């Protein structure tokens, strides 16, 4: 019997521009490498290098410092005629590969900081360019699906990388190779971008036809609607930073399973986060389709509520002595839905707010939220994990209460946008 794609899936994907498909493939290949380090890096730096959780949190947060500069540079280069999206991507991949190789040699706090600074610079340069490419090659009616497709590629790559990393760590017990593989994945992205990514025609205008970069930055920073969105977006990026850098370490070192004084085994943690990513993969397009009928702010409000539910479940898992694995699984499942609810709507809202000639700058500022989220979230979570268990447990309740602030800001933004959204 001949198999065909569901008609709804065809409806979602058929209008998507070929350049976005190329970008999605490149991001998938790169994220396979990132999956090797995304969840195991904190465990490696604490348990094998011998750094404290606070030091690791500060070290990883140093990537946010260089990430600020990288995002400013990336946004400026992305909007600069004669440079543009493609060359910015190539620069980002080269820098990121260097950062991964330095992290592979980490033996002390200084090396961790140096590697994180280089890595963060590369990631910072990367985000404005990749988001601008999606915005350039999508239309309003299918923009959320375009952003969702690339996020789907990210999640799929991370899931495969995470599973392979678990196998490699179990067999070889060598965490350093994880960073080498990540560097190789950035090199593969570089090759795909060099061969297949083209510069949009709209970015080939002469420099005098483009707004002055300083003027573009001032214009974006004086956009009241955009600034309100940035304020609430920082909350979301802080939440996401906990999933990537703090929660794996929490489950390993600050979590007591049953009557034991130990947390989950590495293989259990790997399985938990693999399931988290699988759910994100399976639900990315369906959730995007469901939320498409709502305004961006309502979709983000739904995501915020889901984040609160997920943090509540982590708190329950850490304060009960039974069914902890079930509670943890439920929490990560909810986090997956919260994440796929957030990303397409947030990126689409930025695209709607940004003038076409200033998308690089707008996405640069939007990307700065991720640096801010990591800069605040990683040290905060690392500090909590170094405190008595009660403080570490109540960290998750604190995030639950913070969601109320995020929702309040979203309602204010919704009123300002009004019928313009």
Record the tokens describing residue 20, joined without a space.
Answer: 């976005």
Residue 50 is classified by DSSP as: -
Pick from 380, 364, 369, 382: nearest CA to 112:
382
Q: What's the Cα-to-Cα distance from 384 to each of 63, 247, 253, rounded to whole Å?
A: 20, 11, 12
Instruction: Return the H-helix or E-strand segment holding 18.
Output: helix 18-37
The pLDDT, as a whole number, for residue 43 is 79
Q: What is the mean pLDDT of residues 146-167?
A: 86
Contact status, residue 114 vs residue 61, Cβ threshold 8 Å: no
**What is the predicted pLDDT for the residue at 336?**
93
* Distance of alpha carbon 62 from alpha carbon 60, whole angstroms: 5
Neighbours of 293 (CB within 10 A): 8
3-class secondary structure, 331: helix
Number of residues assigned to the chain:
421
pLDDT of residue 239: 94
Query: What's phi and psi for 189, nearest 5 deg?
Result: -60, -45
Crossing angle (nearest 10°) for helices 109-136 and 359-385: 140
- The pLDDT value given to residue 256: 63
DSSP string, 266-330: HHHHHHHHHHHHHHHHHHHHHHHHHHTTS-HHHHHHHHHHHHHHHHHHHHHHHH-SSSHHHHHHH
Residue 397 DSSP code: H
Kindly tell me the burial class for residue 176, based on how many C-beta atoms sit within 10 Å of its own C-beta (0-12, 13-18, 19 or more): middle
Across 14-18, 157-161, 165-169, least confident range? 14-18
Report how far apart the first and last C-alpha atoms of the chain are (Å, whole number).
45
- Say how far apart CA 8 and CA 81 lie, in whole Å: 39
Selecting from 1.10.260.40, 2.60.40.650, 3.40.50.280, 1.20.1250.20, what CATH number does the domain 15-420 have?
1.20.1250.20
Rounded to two decimals, the pTM is 0.78
Average pLDDT over residues 147-163: 86
- Supply the DSSP symbol for 246: I
Say whether pLDDT at 334 is over 90. yes
Q: What is the pLDDT of residue 202?
A: 56
d(CA 168, CA 40): 11
Q: Rounded mean pLDDT of 278-299?
A: 90
255 Rama sector, left if φ>0, alpha if ψ -120 to 50, beta otherwise: beta
How confident is the model over 159-174, as a mean pLDDT?
80
Angle at 361 between CA 360 and CA 363, to 5 degrees: 65
Q: What does the pLDDT look like over 349-402, one tens digit per residue?
A: 998 898 887 888 888 888 888 778 877 887 888 888 888 778 888 889 999 999
Residue 96: CA count within 13 A, CB half-sphere: 28
Q: Residues 6 or more apart from 321 whose CB is under 8 A from it?
A: 258, 259
Would you say 154 and 185 are in contact if contact means Cβ atoms under 8 Å apart?
Answer: no
Phi, psi of 62 (to 5 degrees): -65, -25
Q: Above 50 in pLDDT, residue 208?
A: no
**79-135: per-residue pLDDT in tens?**
887 788 899 999 999 999 999 999 999 889 999 999 999 998 998 899 888 988 998
Measured between alpha carbons, how far is 362 from 357 in angstroms, rounded to an integer? 10
Q: pLDDT, tens digit, for every residue of 10-51? A: 555 567 888 899 999 999 998 888 888 877 788 788 888 888
Which residue intervals of 137-223 are DSSP H helices? 143-172, 176-196, 213-221
pLDDT at position 5, please?
43
DSSP count for the chain of H helices, then E strands = 16, 0
Identify the weakest region by mean pLDDT among 40-54, 195-209, 406-420. 195-209
Contact 16/344 with Cβ under 8 angstroms?
Answer: no
> 219 is written with which tokens?
């214009």
């Amino acid at each position: 019997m001949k198999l065909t794609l569901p008609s709804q899936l065809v409806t979602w994907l058929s209008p998507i521009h070929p350049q976005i498909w190329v970008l999605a493939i490149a991001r998938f290949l790169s994220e396979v490498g990132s999956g090797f380090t995304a969840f195991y890096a904190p465990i490696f730096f604490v348990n094998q290098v011998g750094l404290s959780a606070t030091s690791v949190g500060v070290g990883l947060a140093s990537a946010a410092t260089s990430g600020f500069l990288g995002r400013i540079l990336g946004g400026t280069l992305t909007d600069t005629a004669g440079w543009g999206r493609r060359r910015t991507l190539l620069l980002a991949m080269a820098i990121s590969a260097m950062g991964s190789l330095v992290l592979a040699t980490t033996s002390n706090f200084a090396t961790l900081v140096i590697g994180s600074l280089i890595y963060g610079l590369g990631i910072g340069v990367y985000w404005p360019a990749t988001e601008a490419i999606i915005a350039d090659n999508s239309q309003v009616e299918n923009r959320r699906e375009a952003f969702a497709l690339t996020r789907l590629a990210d999640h799929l790559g991370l899931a495969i990388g995470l599973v392979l990393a678990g196998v490699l760590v179990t067999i070889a017990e060598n965490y350093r190779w994880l960073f080498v593989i990540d560097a190789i994945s950035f090199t593969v992205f570089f090759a795909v971008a060099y061969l297949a990514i083209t510069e949009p025609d709209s970015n080939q205008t002469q420099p005098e036809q483009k707004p002055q970069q300083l003027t573009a930055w001032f214009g974006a920073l004086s956009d009241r609607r955009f600034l309100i969105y940035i304020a609430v977006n920082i909350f979301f990026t802080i939440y996401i930073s906990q999933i990537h850098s703090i929660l794996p370490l929490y489950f390993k070192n600050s979590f007591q399973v049953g009557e034991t004084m130990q947390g989950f085994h590495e293989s259990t943690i790997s399985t938990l986060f693999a399931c988290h990513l699988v759910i994100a993969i399976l639900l990315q397009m369906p959730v995007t389709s469901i939320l498409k009928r709502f305004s961006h702010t309502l979709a983000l409000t739904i995501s915020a509520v889901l984040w609160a539910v997920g943090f509540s479940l982590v708190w329950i898992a850490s304060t009960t002595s039974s069914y902890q694995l079930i509670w943890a699984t439920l929490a990560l499942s909810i986090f997956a839905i919260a994440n796929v609810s957030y990303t397409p709507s947030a990126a689409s809202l930025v695209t709607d707010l940004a003038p076409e000639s200033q998308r690089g700058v707008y996405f640069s500022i939007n990307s700065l939220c991720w640096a801010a989220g990591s800069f605040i979230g990683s040290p905060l979570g690392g500090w909590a994990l170094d405190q008595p268990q009660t403080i570490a447990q109540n960290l998750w309740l604190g995030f639950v209460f913070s969601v109320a602030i995020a929702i309040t800001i979203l309602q204010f933004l919704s009123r300002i946008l009004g019928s313009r959204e």
